[in-house]
Chain A
Amino acid sequence: SQQGEEDPQALSIQEGENATMNCSYKTSINNLQWYRQNSGRGLVHLILIRSNEREKHSGRLRVTLDTSKKSSSLLITASRAADTASYFCATPLRAGANSKLTFGKGITLSVRP
């Protein structure tokens, strides 16, 4: 079963604008991750936020986690054409390290030059 659900399904912005993507999930988690997928390729891990963290930064990426609302957001600042890709949130189904990892359906981001 898919734990995470991203919103919106598709997003189109101008280069230089910020892109905000959201993920909601159903059950308690100990971490949430975001991945990027360029067309026809495998996924690449972007950032992991643990349940005891509220915000995390990595370069132009900012991730927030609200465990009371069971939601996370990914903000890409000053977007570039190269950020055009699909973005997925992922959550483990169990607390331990040996856990299945489930993904949402993804958000398609288009950044216009």
Chain B
Amino acid sequence: DQQVKQNSPSLSVQEGRISILNCDYTNSMFDYFLWYKKYPAEGPTFLISISSIKDKNEDGRFTVFLNKSAKHLSLHIVPSQPGDSAVYFCAARLFLGGADGLTFGKGTHLIIQP
């Protein structure tokens, strides 16, 4: 049973436009959500996070929105740049102190076209 879902395996966006990556979750006990970015042959790197008590967090070109009632979060990238082409993973943490790690979605491959 997949608790974190990214239903779009890939997304193609023109350079300069907005990229919107979506993520849904089923477990209401998740208290913290994160987005990771992964280039080929590299490990995932942390991008941005949001606590379950907030509905928005912004860091430069990246904004994450959380809708708790819908159990949905999204990552907005504005403007999209060629270097943003990567696989993006949505992840969630259970409210148990964090020892048991994160639950990840399957990822969305973002392709920024010139």
Do A and B share a complex?
A: no
